[in-house]
Each structure stands twice: as C-alpha cells, then as structure tokens.
Amino acid sequence: MAEIIDGKRISQQIKDELKEKAAALKAKGKTGALAVIQVGADPASCVYVRNKKNACAYIGIESLAYELPEETTEEKLLELIAELNGRQEVKGILVQLPLPQHICEDKIIQAISPDKDVDGFHPQSVGAMTIGAPGFLPCTPAGIIQLLKRSGVEIAGKHCVIIGRSNIVGKPMALLMLRENATVTVAHSKTRNLAKLCRQADILIVAIGKPQFIGAEYIKEGAVVIDVGIHRNENNKLCGDVKFEEAKQAASAITPVPGGVGPMTIAMLMSNCVQSIEEG
Ligand code: GUN
C-alpha cells in the first residue's frame, strides 16, 4: 500500500519558509508586489486567482489584482503589461491562462519582462532552464521536484516516464527531471503501447488531461506516481488522471487529488516572487 505524498503539508512548509524569508527581506528594505491579471471570469481561473492572492497575503507580499472584462483587446492587455514592466515595485507579472480566443497567448507571454516572469513561461526563461542558466522555473514542474525531494524519493538514475508534452507541464518536467539525473521518457497521445512503457517507470508523472485514465495496469509494483490532472467527476467531486484507489495498491508512493500537486504550484509561484524580490 502506497505512502500518500501530502502536497498540502509540503506546500505549507514551503510557504512558511518563504514567509520568514520575505520578512527578512522586508527588514532589509526589499519589498515588491505581484501583479495578477485575469481577463474574463472563467470559474476555474477565478478560484486559482483567488488562491494566488491569498497566498501572497499569507507570505506577506503585496498583490495587485487586475480583473479585466472578457472583451478586453490584445492591445489594451499589452499596454497594461508594458506599464507593469516599467513599474519598479512590481516584481512579478502573472497573466492567468487560458485567455479569451481573440487574444494571442504567445504574444502576451512574450511581452512580460523575463525578470518579472514568475510563471516561467517566457521563451527566455524556457531557454535558461534548458541550459541550466539562472531564471524562473515553471511552477508546476518545479513543485513536483520539491514534492519528490521532500518526500525522500531518490531521482538520480531512476527511469521517469512523463505522460504529456505540454509547454506548461510535460516538456519542462522532462528537462527538470534530466537536471536531477533521471533517465527520462516523454509519452503522449501517439505513443504506442502506453501501458507497457509506463510499467517500466520508477517514477510515473501523469499529465494526460483525461479523468481517471491511468489504472493499475500502467503501474510497476513499487513505482512513485505523481498525478497532475484535476477534473470534476460525475458526482462533482475532484479527481485526477489516475484511478487513485487502484493505483495506490501497486505504487510505493502517490499524490492524491486534491491535495497533491495543486497546492505545490502556488507555493512555487510564491517562491519565484520571493526570488524576484531578493534579486530586485
Ligand atoms: N492556468 C493554469 N495553470 C496556470 C499557471 O500555472 N499559470 C497561469 N498564468 N495560468 C495558468
């Protein structure tokens, strides 16, 4: 039976460390704000944005909320980002995704100054991560590395299979696991015989985006399973990409949904903000 990797507890530990660090920086006169921009009122985005603002308050960082109407033009949004790029006290800029159809996400991401890119999505941040140069790391993959390390999971030399190749999770996850000396395989929707491949994983990271898709037949006895998915099932309860009850019989450690990867994303966003205040 698997050990449950408690993302809520580990994220709280990280936030408490950051709270102390932010207070020490403040004592040295180093402060700064995170600007959080939301366009439209997607219900999931509203929850995420609220959680981000609450986390800032907890750590002791100022947050500036920009809640813009759905019909905001790309030009207006670019103007706001340019203004925030130029403001000294703003140390982080976060534009909540997804954006409405009429706004080009890539253009917006590229408009954010890399030294305020606390999401780690700017091509310069991605390039720096790829070669191991300093820069902001994307929050979800960085949070997963922290979950593994703080749960005592050894990464070096292990075979890590990642299901999913998105720019936000799969691709950066592969690079960060490589940096930790794992042997990495990236699987995706065109991968043949996915279950057989996954059964070779010592660490299985699932970001497939399909509710409760991964069952026991994908999991090697004793593997560590990280579930990045978050969905609502037919009873309106939160669930992940993994069939948790089944998977925990085979795994040696597993993250639950909710309370696994989710809270870590926000903790790492706060970590990037504190890093930006420290460097700025
Ligand atoms: N939407 C879903 N996840 C994220 C994230 O990590 N950052 C931003 N900005 N938007 C998101």
Q: What is the pLDDT of residues 157-200, one digit of tens each?
A: 999 999 999 999 999 999 999 999 999 999 999 999 999 999 99
Residues 144 and 90 in one domain: no
Predicted confidence band at 1 (pLDDT cuts at 50, 70, 90)? confident
Q: Which helix (H) or strand (E) holds 124?
A: helix 123-131
Q: Does 122 fall in a domain?
A: no
- Which residues approach ligand 1 with their CB closer than 6 A? 94-97, 119, 139, 265
Please name the residue that has the structure tokens 């980002």: 81
Q: Does 130 fall in a domain?
A: no
- Active-site residue (options: 21, 52, 116, 220): 52
- Active-site residue (options: 117, 119, 227, 241): 119
Residues 242 and 194 in one domain: yes
Which pLDDT score is estimated for 270?
98
What spacing in Å lies between the alpha carbon of 151 and ligand 1's midpoint? 25
What spacing in Å lies between the alpha carbon of 168 and ligand 1's midpoint? 8
Residues 86 and 176 in one domain: no
Quote the tokens at residue 118.
């606390």
Minimum CA distance residue for ligand 1 atom 1: 97
Cβ-Cβ contacts under 8 Å for 228 (sequence gap 6 or more)? 140, 144, 164, 169, 205, 206, 207, 240, 241, 261
Residues 206 and 258 in one domain: yes
Taking CA atoms, 152 is separated from 5, 78, 155, in Å, by: 10, 43, 9
Taking CA atoms, 228 is separated from 15, 66, 73, 151, in Å, by: 20, 28, 32, 17
Q: What is the mean pLDDT of residues 199-224?
A: 98
Residues 150 and 236 in one domain: yes
Q: Does 226 fall in a domain?
A: yes
Residues 103 and 150 in one domain: no
Residues 96 and 153 in one domain: no
State the total domains in the chain.
2
Domain that holds residue 144: 139-262
Q: Does 151 fall in a domain?
A: yes
Q: Which residue in 81, 72, 52 sits closest to 273, CA to CA?
A: 52
Question: Where residue 183 sits, what CATH number does that domain have?
Answer: 3.40.50.720
Q: Hey, how many other C-beta atoms are within 10 angstroms of the C-beta on 254? A: 26
Question: Where residue 46 sits, what CATH number does that domain have?
Answer: 3.40.50.10860
Which pLDDT score is estimated for 220?
98
Q: Is 119 a catalytic residue?
A: yes
- Residues 33 and 88: beta-carbon distance below 8 Å: no
Q: Does 80 fall in a domain?
A: yes
Taking CA atoms, 272 is separated from 19, 125, 201, in Å, by: 13, 12, 30
Q: Does 17 fall in a domain?
A: no
Residues 96 and 146 in one domain: no
Q: Is 117 a catalytic residue?
A: no
What spacing in Å lies between the alpha carbon of 97 and ligand 1's midpoint? 5
Which pLDDT score is estimated for 280?
87
What count of Cα atoms within 13 Å lies in the side-chain half-sphere of residue 238? 11
% of residues, the chain, pLDDT over 70? 100
Q: Does 269 fall in a domain?
A: no
> What's the mean per-residue pLDDT of the chain?
98
Residues 70 and 151 in one domain: no
What spacing in Å lies between the alpha carbon of 158 and ligand 1's midpoint? 29
Q: Does 277 fall in a domain?
A: no
The torsion angles phi and psi of 4, rounded to 5 degrees, stand at -90, 120
Residues 226 and 143 in one domain: yes
Beta bridge partners of 65: 36
Ligand 1 pocket mutation pick from 97, 109, 126 by most atoms within 8 angstroms of CB: 97
Residues 155 and 221 in one domain: yes
The torsion angles phi and psi of 199, rounded to 5 degrees, stand at -70, -10
Tell me: the pLDDT tens digits for 106-130? 999 999 999 999 999 999 999 999 9
Quote the tokens at residue 150.
């703080």
Residues 179 and 95 in one domain: no
- Active-site residue (options: 38, 96, 146, 275): 96
Minimum CA distance residue for ligand 1 atom 9: 96
What spacing in Å lies between the alpha carbon of 55 and ligand 1's midpoint? 15
Give the number of the atom of ligand 1 that is nearest the alpha carbon of residue 138. 6
Tell me: the pLDDT tens digits for 235-274? 999 999 999 999 999 999 999 999 999 999 999 999 999 9
Q: Is 42 a catalytic residue?
A: no
